Chain A
Amino acid sequence: MGETITFWVLAVVSVSAALGLVFSRKAVYSALMLGAVMLSLAVLYAVQDAPFLAAVQIIVYTGAVMMLFLFVLMLVGVDSSDSLVETIKGQRFWAMIAGFGFAALVALAVGNIALSPSAGLTEATAQAGGNVPAIAELIFTRHVFAFEVASALLITAALAAMVLAHRERTRPKPTQKVLARARFLGDHPSPLPGPGTYARNNAVDMPALLPDGSVSELSVNRVIARHDVEEDRLPEDPKLAEAIRQAVEEESK
């Protein structure tokens, strides 16, 4: 009875989290949803006589893999959202159809087989004295070759990540002299205006006013400006609102 309740609660949680993973707009939400799916699967493993796998699932997946995903998301940029342009016509529609078809086929196949009552793992683990000793015995006897190959694979993966992530410097490191020269040859020898300078309000989302009273678009923080436009929090002054909107447009170009 307890297992049935656990299963139904976690099935609902994991399927809705998986749907959220696929359909949420922001990549960070997708990562959180994936974390929810992995945690509920860990509990399902624990319920199904696999305490070792439940622990490994939490340590490896929710601990290491999810952290890696989040770090890369931060490196690549959280706001790198999906483009909605379909390169193949009707791809989304046909992908959905294929998904429904696949699910229906496999679910029918699973529903058609008659299964004997589940054998349970008490007998298999009793001899070694518990789940972890039994798994250890199998890994280090019958599957020892696969285990060694797995260690070789992990070393290869670590090396590959180091090689791929390493960046060779193709040009010399710019010195202070080079940087200063570039700055004076460019459009803005002076530092860029800070937000809120000369404005009536010194909040970071307020564009700076130049000494002649006009609005400086350079001072608008692009990320905050985009949020302002998306959530419709533009200031009442039409000049300021126009500057924020233009900053967002320039960024999207």
Chain B
Amino acid sequence: MTTHYLVLSVLLFTIGAVGVLIRRNAIVAFMCVELMLNACNLALVTFARQHGNLDGQIIAFFVMVVAAAEVVVGLAIIVTIFRTRRSASIDDANLLKY
């Protein structure tokens, strides 16, 4: 069963990565990042059971804490950018380019 769980986690991670690459809406791209983090957590929990060791679950727990903090700050940044530029598209925030 371990292999099944790992392949599922790889699939979810890949879908998330492709989503980050192809979506333009900042919020949807951010959701795809969350999907990648979740896929990693699934792999960690699977490895914890495979090795009979709880450390994997604890790392997954810390990943959740960091993900929560990251969502708070990231969404605040998106709201701030939207306020000043009236757009939630990733391509519009390119002032640093020139």
Distance A80 CA – B75 CA, assembled complex (angstroms) = 15
Is A240 located at the chain interface by the 8 A CB criterion? no
Contact with A along B27-48 (1 / 0, CB 8 A): 1101110110010011001101
The interface residues of chain B, by DSSP majority, are classed as: helix
Contact A64 B68, CB 8 Å, known A11-B8, A72-B75, A111-B7: yes
Q: Identify B17's interface contact among A37, A38, A91, A99, CB under 8 A.
A: A99
CA distance A80 to B91 in the complex (A): 13
Q: Which residue of A lies closest to B89 (CB)?
A: A83
Judge whether B10 and A103 touch: CB under 8 Å: yes
Contact of A167 among B27, B28, B83 (CB under 8 A): B83
Given the contacts A135-B61, A138-B55, A157-B72, A91 and B12 also touching, CB distance less than 8 Å: no
A72 vs B48: C-alpha distance in the bound complex, in angstroms? 35
A164/B77 in contact, CB under 8 A:
yes
Determine the distance from Cα of A69 to Cα of B74 in the docked complex, in whole angstroms. 10
In the complex, the answer to whether A118 meets B27 with C-beta atoms within 8 Å is no
- Is A124 in contact with B34, judged by CB distance below 8 angstroms? no
Known: A22-B19, A99-B18. A115 touches B50 (CB 8 A): yes
Contacts of B30 in A (CB 8 A): 69
When the two chains form their complex, are residues A91 and B50 in contact, meaning their CB atoms are under 8 A apart?
no
- Interface stretch, picked from A146-154, A213-221, A229-237, A243-251, is A146-154
Closest A residue to B28 by CB, please name it: A30
Within 8 A of B (CB), among A36-86: 37-38, 41, 44-45, 48-50, 52-53, 56-57, 60-61, 64-65, 68-69, 72-73, 75-77, 80-83, 85
3 nearest CB pairs, A to B = A119-B52, A157-B69, A95-B21
Give 30 CB contacts A-B under 8 Å: A11-B8, A14-B8, A14-B12, A15-B12, A18-B15, A18-B35, A22-B18, A22-B23, A27-B28, A34-B35, A49-B49, A50-B45, A52-B61, A53-B45, A57-B64, A72-B75, A80-B88, A80-B89, A82-B23, A95-B18, A102-B14, A106-B14, A110-B3, A111-B3, A115-B3, A124-B54, A153-B66, A157-B72, A161-B72, A165-B76
**B residues bordering A, Cβ < 8 Å?**
1-8, 10-19, 21-25, 27-28, 30-32, 34-35, 38, 41-42, 45-46, 48-55, 57-58, 60-62, 64-73, 75-80, 82-83, 87-89, 91
